[in-house]
Amino acid sequence: MLKKLYKHEFYSLFRTLWPIYIMLAGLAIISRISFLFNTDNIFISFIQGTSTTLYVFSIFGLFIVGEVIIVVRFYKHLLSHEGYLTFTLPFTATQHLVCKLVCGVVIMILNVLAVICSLLILALEPGLIEEMFSALGEVWREIVRTNSTGTVILITIQILLFIFITSITALLMFYVSMAIGQQFKNRIAASVVSYICIYAALQMISSIIIMPIMIVNIDAFENFMMSGISAVQIVLAAITLYQLILGTTYFLITRHMLTKKLNLE
């Protein structure tokens, strides 16, 4: 039964986004073909400029529309009048929340992969992709030469983990803002205000944590930041842990609101 919940959520999200995927691929193909011709031709130049501009807008549109759809579906299905129907299904509030979160993160990953694939289409030129991978290989070998292979692999994993956890936390920040906002009469406005307040509070907390360190011993701080890849690893680990704590807090607050403080009136 739980599989049906995930299947329905994925289908609903993907149904809205697949036209943008096709448009993105189509514009990438048109741009790639147009660049094969003589650019002195006014018509070809117009096609190149138009398709490239639309392609760039499509990338922004994909990320914006994807984020909006994920957020709107969470609000409509769990916090609006549709919530009456949603919570009659044989699933707990936690299961609904996890489903929305997992599907949302997967869609965000698919959006990134779609953009990468479209960029590869643009790069479809004899020898270009080989040169690209060759250059990346050179960069990798240079990094490995100056650092141990284990260190490079570890920091690569850290970067990927940081991106993954930060993406989840960013999505949960929207969820917790809406979960708090649904307690008020004007839910949308209250959700926006909640988001702004949370963001402002996080900025203050970050400043409170970082500023004393820099003020007390700025020379030591600068030396640490310039100490190489080990400093990057420590900073990445600290920020990732911070994001993990924030994400866990957002999740627990949202679950509490959906379980104990749900207001569908």
The dihedral through the CA atoms of 219, 221, 224, 228 has a sign that is negative
How many distinct structural domains can be found in the chain?
A: 2
Contact 81, 75 (CB under 8 A): no
Spatial separation of the C-alpha atoms in residues 182 and 148, rounded to whole Å:
51
Among the ranges given (59-68, 78-87, 168-177, 223-232), the one the predictor scored with the smallest mean pLDDT: 223-232
Between residues 148 and 58, which one has the greater pLDDT? 58
Spatial separation of the C-alpha atoms in residues 156 and 72, rounded to whole Å:
33
The dihedral through the CA atoms of 186, 199, 251, 69 has a sign that is positive
Cβ atoms < 10 Å from Cβ of 52: 17
Among the ranges given (27-31, 34-38, 205-209, 232-236), the one the predictor scored with the smallest mean pLDDT: 34-38
Contact 242, 161 (CB under 8 A): no
Task: Classify residue 130: in a domain, yes or no.
Answer: no
Task: Classify residue 98: in a domain, yes or no.
Answer: yes
Say whether both 102 and 158 belong to one domain. no
Report how far apart the first and last C-alpha atoms of the chain are (Å, whole number): 28
- pLDDT for position 241: 93
Q: With CA atoms as reference, report the closest residue to 78 among 101, 58, 49, 55.
A: 101
The residue from 125, 158, 181 where one domain ends is 125
How many residues are given for the chain? 265
**What mean pLDDT do residues 78-89 have?**
82
Say whether both 192 and 258 belong to one domain. yes
Q: Of all residues in the chain, what percent carry a pLDDT higher than 90?
A: 27
Say whether both 31 and 120 belong to one domain. yes
Say whether both 121 and 147 belong to one domain. no
Spatial separation of the C-alpha atoms in residues 229 and 152, rounded to whole Å:
9
- pLDDT for position 174: 94
- pLDDT for position 125: 66
Task: Classify residue 222: in a domain, yes or no.
Answer: yes
- Split at pLDDT 50, 70, 90, the class of 262 is confident
Residue partners of 114: CB distance under 8 A and separation at least 6: 21, 24, 25, 62
Task: Classify residue 5: in a domain, yes or no.
Answer: no
- pLDDT tens-place string over residues 186-233: 888 999 999 999 999 998 888 887 776 666 555 555 555 555 566 777
The residue from 74, 92, 125 where one domain ends is 125
Spatial separation of the C-alpha atoms in residues 16 and 65, rounded to whole Å:
9
- Which structural domain range is residue 253 located in? 142-265
Say whether both 116 and 73 belong to one domain. yes
3-state secondary structure of 61: helix
- Split at pLDDT 50, 70, 90, the class of 246 is very high
Task: Classify residue 131: in a domain, yes or no.
Answer: no
- Split at pLDDT 50, 70, 90, the class of 148 is low
- Split at pLDDT 50, 70, 90, the class of 13 is confident
The dihedral through the CA atoms of 236, 152, 163, 25 has a sign that is positive
- Split at pLDDT 50, 70, 90, the class of 104 is very high
